[in-house]
Chains A and B, each alone.
Chain A
């Protein structure tokens, strides 16, 4: 009698273990998927994260997925105009979410036009590139409107992970 009860208990324990093993296997698969996505760049720094928009002659490159507290670059490549002056206007609300830490090269002038901030670069040779080193200050999705040399506004959106 007592033996059969012990056996019943063991059976119940075994069922628990089977369930546990199954959940563990599922967990391993989830970890593998998570890591694969991390390598791909869904959580920043990878092929999935790199993005760009083309304008006129040049290109604006950025990361779609960034991490809180880790700096990220906005790069304008093949910039340059006939008179050597490049004006980059960035929407002000975006600059509330991202702090500009450094700009290479240094802009000759920074002005406020409406709600935008305009960075003016002088004597740029054609094909020059400009990097904005930004550090995210807010979480979640932020969009920016960037206008280069008065062209069509370029829209970009970035997601900041905690």
Chain B
């Protein structure tokens, strides 16, 4: 019983915490973010399995985590509200070449990030070459160039 309850609680805890930190947090994995992920997994491991190192416990814990993920994907598919709650919605941060400052501040993205994405994905150099920039749900910035 607790082999199911433990991972379910950890799943919900990590889900809420990562959702609260915002889109950009783990989108661009810097070395530090990567190490942070390792530390998080190390810290949650104890709570997940306790002192039960049996194979059957491993099977139950992994099945619970994967099962919850499948359940969440099914719920997201059926309910737009739930989808927004869990996965957020995209945000326009550059409209018609004009950066929308207040939104960018709230989303913790700056013009350098936008130009970074513009160079990387479209080979653009300047803000006025960008028609729209959108902060996607996974934290990536997609660029639509001006024609």
Contact = CB atoms under 8 A, between A and B. Distances in A.
A associates with B:
yes
Interface of A: 28, 31-32, 34-35, 38-41, 43-46, 67-70, 161-162
A158 B62 CA distance: 25
Interface string B31-57: 000000000000000000001111111
Nearest to B58: A162
B75 interface: no
A43 B70 contact: no
A35 B82 CA distance: 24
Interface stretch (B1-9, B110-118, B126-134, B139-147): B1-9
B66 interface: yes
B1 A69 contact: no
Nearest to B56: A161
Nearest to A67: B54
A45 B66 CA distance: 21
B3 A45 contact: yes
**5 tightest A-B CB contacts, nearest first:** A67-B54, A161-B56, A46-B1, A162-B55, A38-B60
Interface of B: 1-4, 51-57, 59-60, 63-64, 66-67, 70
Given A43-B60, A67-B57, A38 B52 contact: no
Contacts of A31: 63, 66-67, 70
B51 A35 contact: no
Contacts of B63: 31, 34-35, 38
Contact of A161 (B1, B55, B64, B67): B55
Nearest to B2: A45
B4 A35 contact: yes
A22 to B, nearest CB: 15
A18 to B, nearest CB: 18
A92 to B, nearest CB: 25
7 contacts: A31-B66, A31-B67, A32-B67, A35-B67, A43-B56, A161-B54, A161-B55
A70 B52 CA distance: 6
